[in-house]
Amino acid sequence: MSFYASFGTVLLLLAVTAPLALGFGFGAAAGSRSHLVPVKWLSNLYMAIVRGVPDIAFFLFFVIALDQGLEWMRHQVLCSDWDQPIRQGNDFVVCAAAKLPQNSAPEVYHQIYGFALAVLTFAIVFGAFAGNVIAGAFKAVPHGQIETAEAYGMTKRQTFWRIMVPQMWTYALPGLSNLWMVLIKATPLLFLLGVEDVVYWAKELGGTKTARFTDYPHGDWRMYYFFGLLVFYLLFTKVSEVVLSRITRKLSHGQATAAGEAMRKAGAGA
Amino acid sequence: MSCSETIASYAFRSLGFGERRLPTTDITLCDQVTLIGSGMLWNIYFGLLAILLGFFSAQAIALAKASSNKAVRKPAEWFIFVFRGSPLFIQFFFGYFLFLSLKQAFPQFDNLTDAWLGAAIVLWLNTTAYSAEIFFGALMAVPKGDLESADAYGFSGWPRFRRIVWPTMLRLAWPAYTNEAIFIFHSTTLVFFSGFPALQQKGDALYYASYFADKTFNPFIPYPILAGYFVLVTLCIITVFGLIGKRLNRHLPQGRTKRPRLMSQIFR
């Protein structure tokens, strides 16, 4: 039963991560166009570093780093009278009140906390990729549009929100749909972050079961379980592909791009 | 232990030479840099092998997908769909357990469950599928005028492909193919986390990095070291591929050799 529920975990991760990563990406892209130099550098640095290093290394890094960062902050606030160093040799020690989640908390909270860390990690990594796509899309908006906006007396802020942002999406969509596919294919990495996901259960349930421990003894079925997962992901990416191509069609409607022009001509001919 | 001694005993630890026991207490910066660098040997091995073999097989699959013969085209399309549509992580798991059952049925497949062979095969097939899609896209983007000129000059068959179609296809595909090379290199870090065992703790760079993060409870040292190594190798790939790309484009009028923009958005 947990095996089927874990498919829900995967879908939940996608549903929460996608908008969050889009938000991170939008922030980074907007930041890289900022007139404040530090903001600009920070955004560019964020995108460059995350893209240059294997994402799995980031997954492993951020989960520990975020956990320790949160506990360190709580430690500073909650236990100001603590006089021992936090890093004692090979250990990371904070006072009991700063532990996240509390040692006494029920198991569910530990799982939710682990899942939340995983979501945040995914969002940080994929936000950098999305940021790159969106930054490219901002550059692709025709310059004439910005000049026209200025000619109408719009401020920088108005130009950004009313002219750039609505038009940027059609240029960003091919890259973003590609990214969605990448995100789907990154979900099995949840397993490495300690979340009990499909991979965990496939390994667990597929392993050899002897008659002593279960009512349904079987040999090593892990190969078939993973074949099932393979098919699940194939179907998932196929369906996404069809849906995304529909959205692309919808968004290019009435845009000053080759695709939009082709649609206009097809409509005029009919 | 001084740093030079550490390098002497751990530089080839990932291949099974030198000191057997990994450092457990008093882990120094030098230990970490040396061992993670030693692990990089595996990443470079997997990456190079997959890129070199995949370069040829990908073009074969791309040509098969462009074929007008249905019996040739369909298998190529399915191959690309299966390997591009599913996560590499799951492919590693499935491949490992497939090889495991193969091994039990036929003892001559003994080596397949070892990372150096089994994981290399999975990586090779995976990069073949992704690069085939890139080369296929480039093949479809070869300008019509080039083909018509070739016909007018009396080119046909193999010489037409070898002298006209192939160089242009390569030139158009190159930026996207550079991306693919970088990504397959990054994917090599998945090998030892996906079923393939690191026998006697002979693992890759990420394996050692996570080992140190577990031991010292401090992720802020091993992972930046790992990142540094990867940025270095990524820069090498970009340089080498850039030189090749320059050579591919050398006949174009200099100054306005804008890099071809085809599919520069495609990554995975």
Helical (H) or strand (E) element with B67: none
Q: What is the pLDDT of residue B81?
A: 92
Instruction: Tell me if B209 is assigned to some domain.
Output: yes
Whole-model pTM: value is 0.82
- The total number of structural domains in chain B stands at 1
| pLDDT tens digits, one per residue of B29-76 | 888 888 899 999 999 999 999 999 999 999 999 999 999 899 999 999
* Contact assessment for residue A159 and residue A57, using Cβ atoms and an 8 Å cutoff: no
Question: Position of tokens 């379980």?
Answer: A225
A54 in contact with chain B, both atoms CB, cutoff 8 A: yes
For residue B50, which of B174, B135, B177 has the smallest C-alpha distance?
Answer: B177
- Who has greater pLDDT, A64 or B39? B39
Q: What is the pLDDT of residue A46?
A: 84
Helix (H, G, I), strand (E, B) or coil at A92: strand
Residue by residue, DSSP assigns A22-81 as HHHHHHHHHHHT-SSHHHHHHHHHHHHHHHHS-HHHHHHHHHHHHHHHHHHHHHHHH-TT
b/e per residue B219-250 (b: at least 16 CB within 10 A):
bebbbbbbbebbeebbeebeeebeeebeebee
Instruction: Tell me if B14 is assigned to some domain.
Output: no
Residue A247: how many CA atoms within 13 Å on its side-chain side? 14
In Å, how far is B142's CA from the nearest CA of chain A? 19
Closest by Cβ to B206, choosing from A57, A65, A87: A57
Structure tokens belonging to residue B7: 């390098």
| Residue A146: band (very low, low, confident or very high) from pLDDT cuts 50, 70, 90 | confident
Helical (H) or strand (E) element with A265: helix A258-269
Q: Which residues in A lie closer than 8 A to residue B220 (C-beta atoms)?
A: 65
Q: Do B86 and A238 touch (CB under 8 A)?
A: no
For residue A11, which of A109, A93, A119, A151 has the smallest C-alpha distance?
Answer: A119
> Cα separation of A130 and A20, whole Å?
11
For chain A, give the mean pLDDT. 80
Residue B3: how many CA atoms within 13 Å on its side-chain side? 6
We find that the CATH architecture of domain A2-265 is: Orthogonal Bundle (1.10)
Structure tokens belonging to residue B103: 């091994």
Q: Do B216 and A61 touch (CB under 8 A)?
A: no
Instruction: Tell me if B68 is assigned to some domain.
Output: yes
Q: Do B217 and A226 touch (CB under 8 A)?
A: no
Query: What residue ranges do the domains of chain A occupy?
Result: 2-265
Q: What is the pLDDT of residue B264?
A: 43
**Residue B220, φ and ψ in degrees, nearest 5:** -80, -5
Q: Which residue of A has its CA nearest to B82?
A: A234
Q: What is the ipTM of this complex?
A: 0.78
Q: What is the pLDDT of residue A216?
A: 67
Q: Do A57 and B93 touch (CB under 8 A)?
A: no
Q: What is the mean pLDDT of residues A108-133?
A: 85
- In single-letter form, the type of residue at position B45 comes to Y
Beta-bridge partners for A88:
A91
Q: What is the domain-level CATH number for residue B108?
A: 1.10.3720.10
Is A160's pLDDT higher than 60? yes
A49 in contact with chain B, both atoms CB, cutoff 8 A: yes
A170 in contact with chain B, both atoms CB, cutoff 8 A: no
Instruction: Tell me if B70 is assigned to some domain.
Output: yes
> Cα separation of B25 and B6, whole Å?
14
Owning domain of residue B111? 39-248
Q: Do B219 and A60 touch (CB under 8 A)?
A: yes
Instruction: Tell me if B223 is assigned to some domain.
Output: yes
Q: Which residues in B lie closer than 8 A to residue A92 (C-beta atoms)?
A: 217-218
Helical (H) or strand (E) element with A88: strand A87-88
| pLDDT tens digits, one per residue of A7-56 | 888 888 888 889 999 999 999 888 888 888 888 888 888 888 877 777 78
Instruction: Tell me if B21 is assigned to some domain.
Output: no
| pLDDT tens digits, one per residue of B4-14 | 888 888 888 88
Q: Please list the pLDDT of chain B residue by residue as tens digits (268 residues).
A: 678 888 888 888 888 887 777 887 778 888 888 889 999 999 999 999 999 999 999 999 999 999 989 999 999 999 999 999 889 988 998 998 888 888 888 888 788 888 888 999 999 999 999 999 999 999 988 888 888 999 999 998 899 999 999 999 999 898 889 888 988 998 899 888 887 888 778 888 888 888 888 888 788 888 889 988 988 898 899 899 989 988 988 887 765 545 544 444 444 5
Instruction: Tell me if B254 is assigned to some domain.
Output: no
Q: What is the pLDDT of residue A100?
A: 67
